[in-house]
Structure 1
């Protein structure tokens, strides 16, 4: 039985393949919750754990990568979602897209409740929160994996009716994004995560991408809120 531990250090994902493995693991976790009618409502990086426990008081963070290699690389790492203080189970007789009255507290939040809305869709909110977290952590990978752009845009769009459901986001990732990077790109080291990094969902994630790619996927582009 694994001992779950937090994601520690700015090199917790040594390669782009590691980043994509984490994204897929979190999407699978959210799909599982939603299929069981559970809305998490507090999705953020501190509520993601991996099946490799390590205390920084015992093993220095900088040695984590070599320790990870003893377990066969990132493909053997499993991620999970924790902290269900704000979660609730939606009765099965409720419509999936039905709005619910509630309160949320996640620091990784979409704009669904930004203006004090009393009702919102908790499942769509979860997808938006996970999308915001992915933007904060992996937006720099877009130039190397352009298919992340429509995925992120369709997860964080303020038009909730256009936002992907969790199962749709996972399907898009597995069949649209995952096959696209080359082996060389998958092996490259991503930019280190910075605690001072400032990323917003309003960032133009399409800037710098090939014009033919933008033209093909423009219908998935999130319009500017300005």
Structure 2
């Protein structure tokens, strides 16, 4: 259960106070963040991490320009789901409808920023953990439920890479909300596939995805990002990457096709069929755990 309270600090900034379980992963993560801030107090009876209140309703489908989509992608490439994303826009007295209009206006500025909150299902690993070689027990992929969970662990894999897993989760969020923008910005199809490839080792890291995307964006013709877009959530685009690739011209498919996710091999499709029922999945988990494959 989550407990929240609202307050103001000495600078009259709106804050939210959240009570978390002592000793939990979320508690330890916030302690680590607090220790890096010079405002921390060793005499405090409990850890207090002070952050300004941000608006929780990011209204992704209300974005109307490519520039807004690009700003969001660049911010979030830095327990990933749309409900854990906040934006630096807040209006205490506004209704949901009024806030959506306020946010539309705020997005016209260059200082719009997005961030992740809620570390309740997060892991804290040592700073020297390898992003590419890290392996965690595969059953951790069953923790929490949201629309953007990647397929890692669905075939009874004994281990998974949590960093690659997070990149894929973010990629599926992009596919869900921004597939309609692909015809206006074809490189998005390549970015989506390089983040959500069914083979974790072929996925970009978050840093690689950000650098690759920024290199592409900086080469775009002036005014390209002012193009208008109409967005809508598409869970079909999450299930089928071919949906947004077919929206591209033959020339763009050829240009970006090297980044496209290849078809799943037969053995993977057979394991997928086997894992659809509980008994088959348990057998897969037992065999793959025993064989460590």
Query: Which TM-score applies when normalising by structure 1?
Result: 0.80
Largest Rg, 1 or 2: 2
Q: CA separation in 2, counterparts of 1:111 and 1:181?
A: 37
**1:88 paired to 2:123:** yes
| Structure-2 residue corresponding to 1:100 | 136
Q: CA separation in 2, counterparts of 1:185 and 1:73?
A: 12
Q: How far is 1:210 from its partner?
A: 2.5
Say whether the 8 Å CA contact 2:187–2:256 is kept in structure 1. Answer: no
Query: Which TM-score applies when normalising by structure 2?
Result: 0.63
Say whether the 8 Å CA contact 1:153–1:221 is kept in structure 2. Answer: yes
1:76-155 matches, cutoff 5 A: 76-96=111-131, 97-101=133-137, 103-104=140-141, 105-107=144-146, 108-155=148-195
Q: CA separation in 2, counterparts of 1:197 and 1:182?
A: 32
**1:48 paired to 2:85:** yes
Q: CA separation in 2, counterparts of 1:91 and 1:217?
A: 36
Q: How far is 1:182 from its partner?
A: 5.5
The alignment's C-alpha RMSD in Å is 2.6
List gaps (5 residues or longer) in structure 2. 1-12, 14-51, 270-293
What is the number of equivalent residue pairs in this alignment? 209
Higher relative contact order (CA 8 A, sep 6+): 1
Q: CA separation in 2, counterparts of 1:63 and 1:11?
A: 16
Q: CA separation in 2, counterparts of 1:72 and 1:223?
A: 36
Say whether the 8 Å CA contact 2:180–2:229 is kept in structure 1. Answer: no
Q: CA separation in 1, counterparts of 2:170 and 2:126?
A: 23
| Structure-2 residue corresponding to 1:208 | 247
List gaps (5 residues or longer) in structure 1. 30-41
